[in-house]
Amino acid sequence: MPRMTEKASTADRLDADGAKGERVAEAPARPLPRQGGRGGRIWAVSKQRLSSADLGAVRFFSRSARWRVGRTSAVLISRLGNGWIYPILALMIVEHFGSKGGRVILAAGLNAGLLHCLYPLIKRMIGRPRPFRMDARVLSLSGVLDEHSFPSGHAMTLCGVLVPIVLAWPDCLPAALALLLLMGWARIATGHHYPSDICAGAAFGFILSYPLSVWALAV
């Protein structure tokens, strides 16, 4: 009798499980939600096209560094942007403007310190790989300080340093723009940045440093 009872209970459990399985099988499948709908698809396609155009621009500018003169210039300018360019700018300000440049140098130093602390955080948050990591045709011409591309720390810091200089002496604007463009070219030609990295870095540098520069020059 115990064996029959055990078999009966086992059969009951199997029947119950089978009924559950049938009910689950008969339940209508829910369609998977679309990722952002039509707007999300349009954004994804647009983002892919922009990334493709960005990488194509890197390939174009990297050709200018194939020859020795272009390669040497790009590496030298890029390394100056690691920090050496800022003492040079400070000496030039003191040489041309004397004691009047002290406040400008102070504002530029404050901006450089602030932006140098901020851009690594933004880079890690975005996490965009550098161009030479994404395309074997793009070569890295020098070592990198970190593995992230967006935004350009060189462009961000340089723009922040140039803002108080231009505010104090507007005639320096053409030279400042030329220097910023030259740094942008060097960072792209070395395979370390996309054009959008340079534009974003310059924009961040201007937006973040302008209020501080106005305040520092007015004190």
* pLDDT at residue 15 tops 80: no
Residue pair 149/127 in contact by the 8 Å Cβ criterion: no
pLDDT of residue 40: 64
What are the pLDDT digits (tens) for 93-133?
A: 998 888 778 899 999 999 999 999 999 999 999 999 999 99
CA 164/CA 115 separation, integer angstroms: 14
Render 178-200 in DSSP notation, one character per residue: HHHHHHHHHHHHTTS--HHHHHH
Q: Where are the domains of the chain?
A: 54-218
| Residue 133 token pair | 């990591």
- Residue 138: name the closest of 61, 218, 25, 32 by CA: 61
pTM: 0.76
Residue pair 133/147 in contact by the 8 Å Cβ criterion: yes
CA 134/CA 138 separation, integer angstroms: 8
pLDDT of residue 29: 43
- For the ranges 30-34, 98-102, 214-218, the lowest mean pLDDT is seen at 30-34
What are the pLDDT digits (tens) for 34-90?
A: 555 666 666 566 667 777 888 888 998 888 888 899 999 999 999 999 989 999 999
What's the full length of the chain, in residues? 219
Contacts 24+ apart (CB under 8 A), 123-132: 123/148, 123/149, 123/150, 123/151, 123/153, 124/148, 126/150, 126/151, 128/197, 130/191, 130/192, 130/193, 131/55, 131/58, 131/188, 131/191, 131/192, 131/193, 131/194, 132/191, 132/192
Residue 22 CB: number of other CB atoms within 10 A?
10
| Residue 60 token pair | 């174009």
